[in-house]
Structure 1
Amino acid sequence: MQTDERLQEGIAAHRKGDLETAQDIYLEILNKDPEHADGLHFLGLLHFDAGRADSAIDLIQKSLENDERNTSALNNLGNILKIVGEPKAAFAAYVRAVELDSRHEEAWKNINVLLRASGDYDEILTIMSEIVRLDPDNPNAWHTYGLALMFTGSKEEASDAFEKSLRFDDPKAPQALWRARVLSALGRPDLSKIHLENIVAADPENKAAHYHLSAVRGDDLQHAPEDYVKTHFDKFSDSFDEVLEGLGYRAPELVAEDVVALAGQKTEPFPDVVDLGCGTGLCGPLISDHCGKLTGVDLSRGMMEKAAQLNVYDFLVEGELVSFLSSDLPTRFDLAVCVDTLCYIGNLRPFMKALAGALKPGGILVASVEHLVDDSGPEFRVDASGRYAHTPDYIRKSTEEASLIYKTDRQEVLRKELGQEVQGLIFQIQKPEAN
């Protein structure tokens, strides 16, 4: 049997999880040819699957010494280096892969994930400018070039790069919607609108594109459509925590700080607590020590499945917040937390009214919102990201209209997005004590 055929048998066994058979075949090949590049490459992957990362890296590097143009091996080496905590070395492997094959989709995706962590924008800008010169209709190269330009503060040049990536790519491409939204955030709503219209025309069922097009046009939107939020976060659930970590996301910790301070004023935990828009459960573990029973509510089943794995929620409920709060609840709540969820609701009045009915007398809400600093215009506004920002006066007004007490607020940076700090408010609301 030819070596290539034998290698394919080993790969097939490897994919089925039969590591012993796969290893025997890889070693058989390497006994005949110790320098066999693919044999070394796949044995390295097997070692990694068996928990031997160091030897996996050594084997794949040796494979590349024998076949330095193997872009799959470079990409896999980058993946392993990233997992073991060597992002700069991983980034270098991915960059080398696209230098050899400018259409290597997976390597481009990995570069974009690690671009901010690499920090060496001058080098990547030099590489990207050469790649787009040699391959001028490469949407992935223009996308990465745009990211690097954006991170260095070159907004106009970044807009041009993202516009080219949209022009040369399929409007149904996974990154198309993100690029179109970024154009608006970079000050080009005209181009954003054109490309969002192209995306909607190519994919009329794309609810997210319809919503963001409405936002860019300035349509009167009271809240994000329920099916958009559900679909968006179901798709996002697997990578949600990792992505937010890369954004320096602080909202759960900031809300939890207030909860801990409130708990310090009590001798017992809050008996009944609800985490409104619990997502993957980022806030739950931070407050669970101060909760008698903790209920999580979210619209996304995918997110709740992640939250369930934490084993900190006593109950998890799939549903929309206002509908949940307005329902025939088995108990009212002593404490509610709402982290980065009200940013998908513009008009807060229905939420506040429902909250008033769901809190016990003296019950408290601790929540975060994005801060609309300009109070000379509308009281709330949706931006290109599809999230709403609110003025403090509007939050206070909608609170008091629901016969609730607006207790405190403070300004904080919630995260970074597109290289800019996102300003937010952490605020507390209380239901009056019973007479």
Structure 2
Amino acid sequence: MNNTDTLIAKIQQTANIQEAEKLLLDALQAEPDNVSVLDYLSYIHLKQADLSKAKDYLDKALALEPSSPILHNHLGQIYRWRGEIDLAEQAFETALSFDADYVDAHHSLGLLHYSKSDYAKAEASFNTALKLKTDHVLALYNLALALKAQNKIDEAVASLMVVLSVNQSHLHAHLQLGKWLVEKELHEDADKHFRYIEYIKPDDATLLSSIAVFLLQQERYIQAKYYCQQLLKLQPKNAEILYDLGVIEAQLGEFSSAINYYQSAIDVAPNNFAALNNIAVLYLKQNNVETAKYYFEKALEQKPNDESIQFLLDALNGKQDLLEAPAQYIQELFDDYAERFEKHLCDELNYSAPRLLKQYVEPFVSDNALVVVDLGCGTGLCGDYFKPWASKLIGVDLSSKMIEQAEKKNSYDQLIVLDNLDYLSSQKEVADLIVAADVFVYQGDLQPIMLACYRALRSGGLVAFSTEICAAGDMLLQPTGRFCHSKQYVGRVARKAGFEIRVAEENIARIQQERPFPANFFVLQK
């Protein structure tokens, strides 16, 4: 072993980067033209993100050995870190021009292509590296990422399995493999990889957090809860972990436990807007109105311009000069609700509004070639009932998450993310039937939507909808954030718009808090 090799070995054993730099500078003073020392100094500065000095030292090394593929490869890495992609690619290609079989340069080129989202070229470069060195773990791992980016998930999984056959303890391979197996719904197999990570690195908060966050995003709440609890043992005052546990418990229907976690998160971080908002929502679900108001007010202090919270506070405080719910409120409410919306309505509330609307409309329908517009279509519950009558079925909803759920049913010919009134304003005499189940409850003044429906319908066209019942007065903004309307008010607005009232009936729309919840059902004709 020569003096340079001895020096490098000593540096590699040194944890202190400043000490390592001093050793190298001392060696450079003794041998100013030592290429290995210059290269290592460049590497030391690259690790410290001092890209200017890293390049200076490498330029000196290249002046001494201009044909070194290793040095050109290292130069390409500096350019890549500086964001000079074309120069980086040129450097990697130069390295390969001096040694076509230089594995690390092929791997570096693959990483560069991957950073440019040119995944097919990245795949080709990684494969070239692997032909030269079949057990190149980094190339195998990055090949898997390039394959997954091209939706070649089975090949990507196979590549990670090869990584683990070479290095069983490659924790990031276990992490990615676990994630991809979840996507393939192979949950037991995925959990083995996640548990392996926990077994090997039980105190690694970064890895455990990656697992927990991913499982939470995938709505694997019970599994996510376990890893969040392990994290909480490591970081008991971590507001983010406490908040995530609150989200998980709320999704699992454990509202009291969720409130406790949110409160703990707030105790750690009093200005945590999401925790303040979510705990308010849960108190509202428990009909603890005053406590809900307290936390909504605290949340509003953090975001004074939040229309959703202001609207809810106005509703809770009995304010009655509002004409409709803000678009932000509706969008956020149903984006959050989308995944569990249909299960909640159908399985827990025995929701019957779409079925009843079809029942009331049926006597006035004579063919099955109608253009049907489903306003506030949600996940597509009305679409299931009205599809048989439609030559074209159009769904409109302000919530993109609801539209995503509706798309899965393949019932609609067209789905549009838009406010109902904005959509109708662009339509004139094109629809035969407009349906709105439990939709107009977010509008107080029904005149604009009635006029818009009238304009959008052909002669003889129908609009069918439900409203919540108002016992006194024309309309009322309820503490639920939903408007109710009297039958008389709806009748006046409908006739003023030009409609004839064909149906105005009260019926049970759902079961709420173990009691029948009645609504008014209307069918109007142009």
* TM-score above 0.5, yes or no: yes
How many angstroms apart in 1 are the aligned matches of 2:483 and 2:279?
21
Relative to 1, partners in 2 of residues 1:353 and 1:184: Cα closer, same or farther, differing over 3 Å?
same
- In 1, distance between residues paired with 2:343 and 2:142? 31
Task: Identify the residue that residue 375 of structure 2 maps to in structure 1.
Answer: 276
Q: Secondary structure, in 3 states, of the residue corresponding to 1:330?
A: coil
Q: Give the counterpart letter for 1:406 in structure 2.
A: A
Aligned CA distance change for structure 1 residues 130 and 217 (closer, same or farther; 3 Å)? farther
Q: What is the match of residue 148 of structure 2?
A: 48
- CA distance in structure 1 between the aligned counterparts of 2:150 and 2:415, rounded to whole angstroms: 37
Distance 1:68 1:190 in 2: 53
Residue of structure 1 in register with 2:171 after alignment = 70
What is the aligned counterpart of 2:297 among 190, 197, 202? 197
Q: Deviations over 1:242-278 (max 9, x none)?
A: 5656767789996278548955874413645332234
Alignment deviations for residues 66-109 of structure 1 (CA, whole Å, 9 cap, x no partner) = 364735x4553344223323355556766877866445666444
**Gap change, CA 1:34 and 1:107, over 3 Å in 2:** same
What's the offset of the Cα at 1:337? 0.8
Residue 442 of structure 2 is aligned to residue 344 of structure 1 = yes
Shift of 1:13: 1.1
**Structure-2 separation of matches of 1:422 and 1:69:** 56
**1:111 counterpart (215, 218, 229):** 215
Q: What CA deviation, in whole Å up to 9, does each residue of 1:111-159 have, x standing for no partner?
A: 22444x56xx4x7656544432321222332133224444565433320
Which amino acid in structure 1 is aligned with residue 285 of structure 2? A
- Describe the SS at the equivalent of 1:337: strand
Q: Deviations over 1:215-262 (max 9, x none)?
A: 4555446454444257648x95xx986565676778999627854895
Q: Is the 8 A contact 1:108 1:140 kept in 2?
A: no
Matched, 1:184 2:284: yes
Q: CA deviation at 1:429?
A: 1.3
8 Å contact kept, 1:260–1:287: no
Distance 2:414 2:388 in 1: 13
* Pairing 1:372-383 to 2, within 5 Å after superposition: 381-383=478-480
Q: Call closer, same or farther: CA 1:256–1:126 in 2, change over 3 Å.
A: same
**Match of 1:331, SS?**
coil
Q: Distance in 2 between matches of 1:95 and 1:395?
A: 58
Cα contact 2:429–2:457 (8 A) shared by 1: no
Residue-by-residue CA offset, 1:135-186 (whole Å, 9 max, x unaligned): 1222332133224444565433320102223444585766764454334335
Relative contact order, higher structure (CA 8 A, sep 6+): 1
Residue 48 of structure 1: how far off its partner (Å): 2.7
Q: Which residue pairs with 2:63 in the alignment?
A: none
Q: CA, structure 1 residues 336+206, in 2 after alignment: closer, same or farther (shift >3 Å)?
A: same
1:383-415 Cα offsets, whole Å, 9 max, x none, are: 3xxx5275xxx554544444533146343479x
Comparing 82-91 with 242-251, greater Cα deviation is found at: 242-251
Q: Is the 2:324–2:445 Cα contact (8 Å) retained in structure 1?
A: no
Q: Does 1:290 align with 2:389?
A: yes
- Between the two proteins, the alignment pairs up a number of residues equal to 410
Alignment of 1:393-408 (within 5 A): 394=485, 396-401=487-492, 402=494, 404=501, 405-407=503-505
Judge conservation of contact 2:369–2:389 (CA < 8 Å) in 1.
yes
Q: Distance in 1 between matches of 2:321 and 2:105?
A: 59
Can you list the C-alpha shifts for 1:355-393, whole angstroms capped at 9, x where unaligned? 678767875444466x78x989x966243xxx5275xxx
5+ long unaligned stretches in structure 2: 1-69, 75-102, 496-500
The alpha-carbon deviation at position 33 of structure 1 amounts to: 5.9
In 1, Cα distance between equivalents of 2:522 and 2:362: 15
- Alignment partners' CA distance in 2, 1:148 and 1:316: 31
Give the Cα separation in 1 of the matches to 2:342 and 2:398: 22
- The yes-or-no answer on 1:429 pairing with 2:522 is yes
TM (norm. structure 1) is 0.67
TM-score, length-scaled by structure 2: 0.58
Amino acid at match of 1:388: R
Q: Which amino acid aligns with 1:274?
A: V
Residue 409 of structure 1 is matched in structure 2 by 507
Unaligned runs of 5+ in 1: 415-419
Q: Distance in 2 between matches of 1:336 and 1:97?
A: 54
For 1:417, the equivalent position in structure 2 comes to none
C-alpha RMSD of matched pairs (Å)? 5.3
d(CA) in 2 for partners of 1:131, 1:345: 44
Q: What is the identity, as a one-letter code, of the residue corresponding to 1:429?
A: F
Preserved contact between residue 395 and residue 412 of structure 2 (Cα < 8 Å): no
Please say if 1:58 is aligned against 2:151: no
**Matched residue SS, 1:431:** strand
Counterpart among 5, 23, 26 of residue 123 in structure 2 = 23
Mark the CA change 1:400 to 1:169 in structure 2 (over 3 Å): closer, same or farther: same
Task: Report the Cα offset of residue 338 of structure 1.
Answer: 1.2
Q: Does 1:156 align with 2:256?
A: yes
Report matched runs for 1:260-339 at 5 Å.
Answer: 262=361, 266-269=365-368, 271-278=370-377, 283=382, 287-291=386-390, 319-321=419-421, 330-331=428-429, 334-339=432-437
1:256–1:287 CA contact under 8 A, matched in 2: no
Q: Distance in 1 between matches of 2:162 and 2:460?
A: 67
Q: Distance in 2 between matches of 1:69 and 1:167?
A: 38
Q: Alpha carbons of 1:136 and 1:61: their partners in 2 closer, same or farther (altered >3 Å)? A: farther
Question: Is the CA contact (8 Å cut-off) linking 1:366 and 1:427 kept in structure 2?
Answer: no
Q: For the structure 1 residues 258 and 219, does the alpha-carbon distance in structure 2 shift closer, same or farther, using more than 3 Å as the test?
A: closer
Q: Could you tell me which amino acid in structure 1 is paired with residue 376 of structure 2?
A: G
CA distance, structure 2, for counterparts of residue 157 and residue 315 of structure 1: 38
